[in-house]
Each structure stands twice: as C-alpha cells, then as structure tokens.
Copies of this chain bind each other. A is one copy, B any other.
Amino acid sequence: MNQQKLTERIRAQRSYLCVGLDTDPLLLPAHLKNKPDGVIEFNKAIIDSTLPYCVGYKINTAFYEAMGARGWEWMEETVRYIPEGYFKIADAKRGDIGNTSTQYARAFFENMNFDAITVSPYMGADSVRPFLEFKDKYTIVLALTSNCGAADFELQPSGDELLYERVLRTVSSWGTTDQLMFVTGATRPEAFQRIRTIVPDHFLLVPGVGFQGGSLAEVSRHGINAQVGLLVNASRAVLYASSDENFAMAAAEIAHQYQFEMSGYLD
C-alpha cells in the first residue's frame, strides 16, 4: 500500500485508527482463557467488531513470540484473517546488519504479507535499507517513542539537535514517503510541531493514546498534514475494554469513540 491509497482509505473510513493486537493470553475474557484456540478466537472477534472504525491493525510480535511456535502460527493466522485493504503493521522493532535485516523483511513482508514493519534506527542505514527494497511496503522507523526511557537517548543532544531529530532528518533521506514512516509517541504532543518541520510529508505512527495517557486532540492538531499523515494506535484500551463475554462489542464501542473523534479532526 502506498501513501495515496492509505490516505484514500482514511478519508473513506473517516478514521486514522489502528487497533493494536497485543493479545496477552492471561488477559483473555474468562470464557476464552482455557480454550486451546482462545487467542485466535479473541483476535478474530476483535477484528470483526472493529473493522468499521479503523484503517489498520498493528500486531505486537512480542506477545506471539512469548507463546512459542504456536504463537507464531497464531500471528500468521491473524494476519491472514485481516481483510484486504486494511493496513497491517508488524510491530517488531527489528534491525540488524544487512543480510540479517533481509531475513526479517522476508519473514514479515513475504511470508506473512504485512504492509509495514517497525524498525529501530540505532544501527544505521545498512540495517534499514534492506526493508526499503520491498515494493509497496512501509518501513516505520522509531524516532520519539512514548515511554519515559525516550529521555535516555532519543531526547539527548546530538550535535545541535536532539537524537530523535537527527534520526528523522537522516532516515527521511533514505527513502520516499511511500517507503518510510516514523514512530512518534502521543505522550509528547509538544514535540509534534518540531517533528512536522523536519518531516512535513511523512506518515507518523502514533502509539501512546489511551492506556499510556496521550491526547488524541493534541496529536491530531499538530500532526495532521495534507495527506492526513497520521495513524494513531490504541491497543489495551480497545482489547480489554471489557473482560466479559461482550468484550468484542465493548472494543467496538471504544474504537467507535476514537473514530467519531477522528472524524471531527479530519474536517
């Protein structure tokens, strides 16, 4: 999927919500907790119920890896289940020397048909470039993350700028707005104006709304550009809106609230 198609989808759906499938078997509703396929049943119900309100799904690979080979199969099955036209993100935060990054790209872009993968910039250009070689796929590079640890390195000076600013400026020269996005956390809305001066045209993947306390209004005010340019992710707030049998309906309600609010910001 390229930028134009993603923008069209967002305008049609009147939503830039991405639902994060950080599915933790310990947090499943009671009636699914001891079912052998509880995880996949849960994911399918969440996907079915939130489809009208979002444009994509973000799968947090850690949660599936923690379940072993079977978890990997559930991840594959979940990606296959997401309907055509929805933007599918592997939140994997990978990145390694060239021949290894190519293996990661194959795993997520070819074998599983994700549209995008999150990547750490630390190791530099040759750790990111192998992902860019896959056509119609997005590489989403960490810039300013939503956690408090962002203060340790991302927000430290790097020459006459901050490290995350250097990352935005440097990495954005490695590919086009059809190849690259950046992760910028909702917990630092004050940084969005600065971010938009460095990467005015790129899409930003924004975690940290909901459970982590970021403001959708603030992020939208400073982050939206002519192509919309935002994908805002909510994971726990949607997945665990209810722990009863009605969890999917509760998830849909939360997703609908986000979509309704986003619809206003899109005007």
Contact = CB atoms under 8 A, between A and B. Distances in A.
Interface string A124-136: 1111100000000
A177 to B, nearest CB: 20
Interface in A23-68: 24, 60, 62-63, 65-66, 68
Contact of A148 (B68, B124, B151, B159): B124
A122 B69 contact: no
A107 B76 contact: no
B152 A124 contact: yes
A190 to B, nearest CB: 18
Q: Which 10 A-B pairs have the closest CB atoms?
A: A124-B149, A124-B152, A62-B103, A65-B107, A126-B149, A69-B72, A66-B103, A69-B73, A97-B147, A66-B107
28 contacts: A22-B100, A60-B96, A60-B100, A62-B100, A62-B101, A68-B72, A69-B72, A91-B96, A120-B120, A120-B122, A122-B153, A123-B142, A123-B145, A123-B149, A123-B154, A124-B152, A124-B154, A125-B148, A125-B149, A125-B152, A126-B147, A127-B147, A127-B149, A153-B158, A153-B166, A153-B167, A156-B158, A158-B163
